[in-house]
Amino acid sequence: MSDHNNFGHNYNDIVQPTQQIEQVALSDISPQDKPWDKHRKNAEIISSYYKKGGMDRYAKRVDLCSRNLDFRLVDDKHRGCQKLKLFKAQFCRVRHCPICQWRRSLMWKAKAYEALPKVVTDYPQYRWLFLTLTLKNCELTDLRDTLNDINRAFKRLTELKVFPATGWVKSIEVTRGRDGQSAHPHIHCLLLVKPDYFAQGYLHKKDWIVLWQQCLRLNYKPILDIQAIHADKSPVGLIAEILKYQCKESDLCADADWFIEYVRQMHKTRAVSVGGVLRGYFKALEEEPEDLIGKDDESEKADDDDTVMTFRWNTRIKKYILVRITSCNTRNIQYKDTA
């Protein structure tokens, strides 16, 4: 049994004749879909927090998010076997829903991966820098004002004559302070710089600190990090880092009161923004992705047999469990349902 795939060529190999299909968990038969259980479990926590905060409508929507997942069995040509491919789910699209936040980040990543080679073709000799800008923790109740200050400061930075980037992708991340009360907002930023940056107009870390301090109008030296991506390396991994989430799930789920205030503070703030020449390539990252399922790729064609497997969230055991297999060879004729 290989580690990436443990099923064969049709669902009879997945569900043994003697086995009840309600004993088959999504995470057991499709390792790549393991994250579903974790995110759905956290969605229950977040739903209860929305309820505690009096946001009943959001609580209800998150509670109903992705309860049923329909997968098709598709050929995975890269591996010469079959795998599950999601094709239907009902997403709540609530901003801080752990499932929707995860799906959104996957879709953004896919869009960024698609656009990146075009940038490399158009700017072949250009280099990438990865910049992290921080400041001291703020009171959670001041988070909104602090984010406004940070965004204004970043705009000032990009308008400086010495600012070396011709384009950038920037995201805001917030972590929960160690004291459990405060918030730690910071910026992750990928910068595209001219090929001669390291010879002309190069900024040392200490220069960046001075600039960031000036732009933020602080009376102390802020902490930041700047890394140059090696000329042979792609910034793909860092794009993933930028687009992963605004606040990690463990922080969102840690404390109801922190979460409720965080939601209030973050209302209608923007997660990702793109500037300079990169706007033309990465504009989609500023928008809510319409599709949270993910397009089929060329190598994933549905089988003629077109088997659909429906998994349902089981709140008791906190797993997605197989509840139905529909084989659509002669549409909806063969049908098993335990519900």
Which pair of tokens denotes residue 333?
């004729």
- Least Cβ distance, residue 94 to Zn ion (angstroms): 5
Question: Residue 97 interacts with Zn ion (CB under 5 A)?
Answer: yes
- Least Cβ distance, residue 113 to Zn ion (angstroms): 23
- Binds Zn ion by CB under 5 A, chosen from 69, 92, 138, 165: 92
**φ and ψ of 207, to 5 deg:** -70, -45
Q: Which is nearer to Zn ion, 154 or 259 (CB)?
A: 259
* Burial grade of 260 (CB within 10 A; 0-12, 13-18, 19 or more): middle
Q: From CA 194, how far away is CA 124, in angstroms rounded?
A: 10
Q: From CA 248, how far away is CA 45, in angstroms rounded?
A: 14
Q: Are 136 and 210 in contact (CB under 8 A)?
A: no
Look at the chain and count its residues: 339
- Least Cβ distance, residue 278 to Zn ion (angstroms): 29
Q: Which is nearer to Zn ion, 94 or 203 (CB)?
A: 94
Question: Residue 99 interacts with Zn ion (CB under 5 A)?
Answer: yes
- Least Cβ distance, residue 39 to Zn ion (angstroms): 9
Q: Which is nearer to Zn ion, 100 or 157 (CB)?
A: 100
Q: Which is nearer to Zn ion, 97 or 169 (CB)?
A: 97
Question: Residue 100 interacts with Zn ion (CB under 5 A)?
Answer: yes
- Least Cβ distance, residue 96 to Zn ion (angstroms): 9
Q: From CA 259, how far away is CA 51, in angstroms rounded?
A: 11
Q: How big is the CA angle at 331 (ends 327 and 332), to the nearest 5 degrees?
A: 65
Question: Residue 107 interacts with Zn ion (CB under 5 A)?
Answer: no
Q: Which is nearer to Zn ion, 102 or 212 (CB)?
A: 102
Where in 288-317 is the site for Zn ion (CB under 5 A)?
Answer: none
80: left (phi over 0), alpha (psi -120 to 50) or beta: left
- Least Cβ distance, residue 317 to Zn ion (angstroms): 21
Question: Residue 172 interacts with Zn ion (CB under 5 A)?
Answer: no
Q: Which is nearer to Zn ion, 99 or 169 (CB)?
A: 99
Nearest to 127 by CA among 20, 25, 203: 203
For residue 104, what are the contacts with CB-CB under 8 A and spacing of at least 6? 288, 289, 292
Q: Which stretch binds Zn ion (CB under 5 A): 6-14, 97-105, 191-199, 324-332?
A: 97-105
Which pair of tokens denotes residue 2?
């290989």
Q: Which is nearer to Zn ion, 102 or 281 (CB)?
A: 102
Q: Which stretch binds Zn ion (CB under 5 A): 93-101, 129-137, 195-203, 288-296?
A: 93-101
Q: Which stretch binds Zn ion (CB under 5 A): 86-94, 146-154, 287-295, 317-325?
A: 86-94
Question: What character string, x for contact with Zn ion (CB under 5 A) and - otherwise, covers 40-69?
Answer: -------------------------x----
- Least Cβ distance, residue 130 to Zn ion (angstroms): 30
Q: What own/partner pairs with CB < 8 Å and gap ≥ 24 does 59-65 have?
A: 61/92, 61/93, 61/94, 61/97, 62/92, 62/94, 62/97, 64/90, 64/92, 65/40, 65/90, 65/91, 65/92, 65/94, 65/97, 65/99, 65/100
**Residues of this chain that bind Zn ion (CB under 5 A):** 65, 92, 97, 99-100
